[in-house]
Amino acid sequence: MLIAFQSPLGSQVTIHLLYWYRCVYPMSDLLQLQTPCMRYVGSKRRLGRFFIRHIQRALEVYPNGKYIEPFVGGCNMITQVNHHTKIGYDANKYLIALLHEAKNNPDKLRQSTCISRKAYEYVKAHMDEFQAWYVGAMGFLPTYGCIWMGSYMNDKERGRFVKGINGLLKQNLADIHLINSDYRNIPIGKGNVIYCDPPYIIHNYYGIPFNHEEFYDWVRYASRDNIVFVSEYEMPDDFDCIWQMQIRPQINNNGRLRYEKLFIYRP
Ligand SMILES: C[S@@+](CC[C@H](N)C(=O)[O-])C[C@H]1O[C@@H](n2cnc3c(N)ncnc32)[C@H](O)[C@@H]1O
């Protein structure tokens, strides 16, 4: 994608978006950030601050466009973005209901307490008997690593449930539109900035089958009229890595190091 701007001498300059990204960022240029903190598996809470400037610069290219996250998860990235229109989608309806509750009805959430392992197993097996936000809270907050309907944490660690609720309530969700949808059904439009944080190709903790080849095609298509970023470890060869950082993933990785990367599609 090419971007055009006015040079200091008044002429119109057109450069490739990738070149522009590679030129403009000293590390010291980090923005002042809020402290978003819903614990969430695959959260970009800590990493987001290192690459958010790419997103903010892209929003300068499309100042009237929307900022869209098709995989909003625990909102740990979208809350760090400064923009007038922010929309977060997620295919997990219980998660979106929980985020709505945190946004509109925080007192109700504050009053909820951790349930026993037996009660947790009951909620897990009978989700339709409960309100969606409640299933969301019980499906994420009392589990190891906040993995959706994962293993119930040790009874001694119940304090983490309260911490989870408090973290969720600390987030500023007021200016975010939260919508339950599969990414394939969202209106992409034109002139928007889209940040994708899909399930990693090597492990999917979200209980929703995910076809990565189909996702790559969707990104290629969406990139025709929008600026689209993807967080992943690896992407196909026609994607360019514009940022990377060595990390030690916390779950099931035996301490091995990986590179967390940010990609954009190179047509
Ligand atoms: C890596 S997490 C996002 C984490 C988020 N960026 C954060 O920092 O909190 C990926 C999310 O994608 C969602 N997801 C999985 N398949 C999806 C699909 N087909 N459409 C939309 N969302 C999906 C999962 O429910 C999960 O919340």
251 lines ligand 1 (CB under 6 A): no
Instruction: Determine contact, residues 77/44, Cβ cutoff 8 Å.
Output: yes
- Give all domains of the chain, ordered by start, each with its CATH number: 2-91+181-265 (3.40.50.150), 95-170 (no CATH)
- 8 A C-beta contact, residue 166 and residue 26: no
Taking the centre of ligand 1 as the mean of its atom positions, its distance from the CA of residue 205, in whole angstroms, is 9
Q: Which atom of ligand 1 sits closest to the CA of residue 40? A: 9
Q: Are 16 and 264 in contact (CB under 8 A)?
A: no
Q: Pocket of ligand 1, candidates 90, 178, 215: which has the most ligand atoms within 8 Å of its Cβ, to mutate?
A: 90
pLDDT band at residue 201 under the 50/70/90 scheme: confident
**In this prediction, what percent of the chain has a pLDDT beyond 90?**
57
Is 208 a pocket residue for ligand 1 (Cβ < 6 Å)?
yes
User: pLDDT digits over 39-87, tens only?
Assistant: 887 888 888 888 999 999 999 999 999 999 999 999 999 999 999 999 9
- Give me the pLDDT at residue 6, please: 52
Sign of CA dihedral 175, 195, 43, 95: positive
What secondary structure letter does DSSP report for 62?
S
Round the CA-based radius of gyration of the chain to a whole number and report it.
Answer: 19
Amino acid at 142: P
pLDDT of residue 17: 55
- pLDDT exceeds cutoff 70 at 24: no
Give pLDDT tens digits for 89-128.
Answer: 999 999 999 999 999 999 988 888 888 889 999 999 999 9
What is the rounded average pLDDT of the residues 175-183? 98
pTM metric for this prediction: 0.85
Question: 88: CA distance to ligand 1 center in Å?
Answer: 10
